[in-house]
Amino acid sequence: MRQDIKKVLICEQELASKVKELGERISEDYKGKHLLLVSVLKGSIVFMADLMRAITIPLQVDFMSVSSYGTGVKTSGVVKILKDLDNPVEGLDLIIVEDILDSGMTLGYLREVLAQRGCRSIRIVTLLDKPERRQVDIIPDYCGFVVPDEFVVGYGLDYAEKYRNLPFVGVLKSEVYSTSGL
């Protein structure tokens, strides 16, 4: 797997430090509130696991899985919920946990859907942000790193379901995904 990585963008130590910082900020911001972290599967699972351990206040966790239909790496903007939350969110303060925010289409849709369910507040935390790819007016409330418009993998992010288990965020060599027609 490592031979497919062009360069390490964010090392393990940088990830750990940033997740700790985000956990401290969220802990402070949500003191006395009913916090629910909602992980958007599958990419955010590693980030979510580390983040929830860095948060020092009581919280609940839940998971959603969504699919954006389109061709190749392009999204059509049509989002389908494949796995919904297990419990009602009425009266809770939600933080949607995402691995990467690029077009914003999926997060925009999820935010709208969840807002209709009676939660008290909704914020977004993303490990990575690619603002130059944004197609929807959405800004994360908590952001780990702003990254260039390159194909990144590792720390939960994948290409063809591979590379999620790399302990760092790296840039995938273009020949890995260009040969598959993307």
Just list the catalytic residues.
102
CA distance 167 to 14: 11
First-last CA distance in the chain: 19
User: How far is C-alpha 78 from the chain's CA centre?
Assistant: 18
Name residue, tokens 């999820």: 110
**Which residues, at least 6 apart from 22, have a Cβ–Cβ distance to it below 8 Å?**
51, 54, 125, 142, 144
At CA 142, angle to CA 22 and CA 116, rounded to 5? 125
